[in-house]
Chains A and B, each alone.
Chain A
Amino acid sequence: MRLLFEGLKLGIAALWAHKLRTFLTLLGHIMGVITVITLVSLIQGLNHYVSEKILVQGANLFYVDKIGLAFNEEDFLKRLRRRNLDMDDFDAVRTRNETLANVGAMVQTNATLKYKKRKLNQMGVVGITADSPLFDPYPIASGRALRAEDTDHRRRVAVLGHEVATELFPIGDPIGEEIRVGSRKYTVIGVLGERGKVLGQSTDNFVAIPITEMLGWFHDLSFFTVLAQPLPNVSTEEAQEEVRWILRGSRGLRPKDAENFEVYSSDALMRLYQTLTGGIFAVLVGVGSISLVVGGIVIMNIMMVSVTERTREIGVRKSLGARRKDILNQFLLESVVLTLAGGLIGVVFGFSVSMLVSATTGFPARITGSATILGLGVSAIVGIFFGVYPAFRAARLDPVAALRYE
């Protein structure tokens, strides 16, 4: 330990004695670390952002509809021909389940919204049941949420998304005002809190109305979706299994029939994202790492030069009692100190670059402790890996020959 500390001091001193050479030697390594750190912080930023936005609805929420996650057009078109889900399916799940805390149903379309002379084209219209779990991430900002009596009596009432509210009502309180959805009039009863953008798409540009009222004039049930949230002590898998059985019954499927509906969760969406992007990210970081190897070779080269230059010093140290291990450690520490110094600079600049990218392009970068540890850890490994051969050469020098070296 004592020797290690002395070695560290020696290593720093030796590098400090050749400041410019040290820096130039390190440039490649620094670039490599910058590349890797930048990539990792951008990737981590994206992952974090996506998971935060996807999972915001509660990780255990799951969905049932006839399309599900279709990954190609063929699947999509095939599933589109399935029998629609409808309110009967929703009622079956709602009344028969024993594992769910909350069940909702939802249909969506687009329509033009109007308030007096203000007009918003192509806004989302969501027909929904009262107390739907979908609205968990949207706290009510003012007014009230949809209630059972609204759906029971097919009331023409609307809850506005934040963006819709601010665009239609730049001044004044929207509660109690009458707006038009398409040609129909609705009374505004509440405004939702702001949730912001997901991958550049606003999540606040819709209006929610009672699903029962909407089904009175909207008849395309292709995307009719049942939302379900398991009881706290029930696993998502268990609840999904129960919902499957209920729907098989309500849709008259025999045991050997394939299911004509899809059950999926936001977890599954997240997993899908990860499988789609994981490979790409690994390749990106791998390509970035090539520059680390190049930087490492430069470091090995300069360490070889350093060993040759200091042959006589090695001989002197050996004559004073340095063992092979001492010399090995000395040079190994020197190259690790070298790469760690480069790693530190690289991490700092890497974070700066990713912040810059983030600030100029809006790409969500994220600075994490794990990226810092990765940068420094990889640097230490590069230092050891590319330093071990020169250090081994130094340790093996014959003291007589080394002392005679000019």
Chain B
Amino acid sequence: MLIEIEHLTKIYKMGAEEVHALDGIDLSIERGEYVAIMGASGSGKSTLMNILGCLDVPTSGTYRLDDELVSAMDDDRLAAIRNRQIGFVFQTFNLLPRSDAFHNVELPLIYAGMSRPERRQRVEEALVAVGLSDRTRHRPNELSGGQRQRVAIARALVNAPSIILADEPTGNLDSRTSEDIMAAFRKIHDAGNTVLLVTHEEDIAAHADRRVRLRDGRIESDSRAA
């Protein structure tokens, strides 16, 4: 099992009031799955994504990623897990504006401490994989929205992580570009990667093989496509 979550809760204190963003989640995901995590805003899906992505730690409960107990790790070990195991794709792309596509994709490898020639090779492979081999020296503002998101996908893939974690990856794109991006995720999944898609859009979620619906911090339904 790649992801194993048991009795996960996350409680935020808003003044005197406690908000149970996650209220006892149990979830298992196997390597190679393509899962959509769905829910309205306030359902807890962002909180779950942050914890799955090791950006945040739960208040209680356990989270095992690839047999490592992530929920008990400190900041720096979480950073190392994010670097090796997680590839993020954000709604707003989150590319460094002053760096070109090459350097943006290279960043995770720098933090991994990889040598320059090895980095160069990996970055070029990743950019070829998303069809941007001719845009390596372009900065984000010289690229279209779809191209930016593909740079972000290349960045997520470059470290060969266990999970690709996409948070509303098509939220800022028109429907045609969205289809391109979703096709890219399908290809990534078909290549053997585990893809977690966080979305509130039904037609985007329809691309996934399994759909987990959250409501008020609990799993409302967990269904697989026929």
Contact = CB atoms under 8 A, between A and B. Distances in A.
Interface in B54-77: 55-56, 75-76
A322 B113 contact: no
15 contacts: A2-B110, A2-B113, A2-B116, A312-B94, A316-B95, A317-B107, A319-B88, A320-B107, A321-B84, A323-B75, A323-B79, A323-B80, A324-B79, A325-B76, A326-B111
B90 interface: yes
Interface string A366-406: 00000000000000000000000000000000011001000
Q: Which of A3, A321, A323 has the most CB of B within 10 A?
A: A321
A17 B98 CA distance: 8
B108 A321 contact: yes
Contacts of B116: 2
Q: Which residue of A6, A312, A313, A316 has the most chain B CB atoms within 10 A of its CB atom?
A: A316
Interface residues of B, number: 28
A322 B112 CA distance: 9
Interface string B100-132: 000000011011110110000000000000000
A317 B115 CA distance: 19
Interface in A1-48: 2-3, 6, 13-14, 17
Nearest to B94: A316
Nearest to A326: B111
A79 interface: no
- Main SS at interface, chain A: helix
B11 to A, nearest CB: 15
Nearest to A319: B88
Given A313-B96, A403-B90, A320 B113 contact: no
A319 B75 contact: no
A321 B82 contact: yes
Contacts of A318: 55, 79, 82
Interface residues of A, number: 23
B111 A322 contact: yes
Contacts of A323: 75-76, 79-80, 111
Interface in B167-224: none
Contacts of B113: 2-3
B108 A320 contact: yes
B98 A3 contact: no
B82 to A, nearest CB: 5
Given A320-B83, A324-B75, A325-B76, 16 more contacts: A2-B115, A3-B110, A3-B113, A6-B110, A14-B98, A312-B94, A317-B107, A319-B55, A320-B108, A321-B159, A322-B79, A323-B75, A399-B55, A400-B50, A400-B56, A403-B90
Closest 10 CB pairs of A and B: A321-B83, A321-B111, A323-B79, A320-B108, A316-B94, A399-B55, A323-B76, A321-B82, A319-B88, A400-B55
Contacts of A324: 75-76, 79
Interface string A275-315: 00000000000000000000000000000000000001101
A374 B112 CA distance: 36
A313 B94 CA distance: 8
B75 to A, nearest CB: 6
Contacts of A313: 96
A316 B116 CA distance: 21
Most chain A beta-carbon neighbours within 10 Å: one of B84, B90, B94: B94
A400 B56 CA distance: 7
Interface in A316-356: 316-326
Contacts of B39: none
Contacts of A317: 107, 111
B155 interface: yes
Contacts of A315: 94
B221 to A, nearest CB: 26
Contacts of A17: 98
Contacts of B84: 321
B58 to A, nearest CB: 13
B50 to A, nearest CB: 5
Interface string A130-152: 00000000000000000000000
A2 B111 CA distance: 10
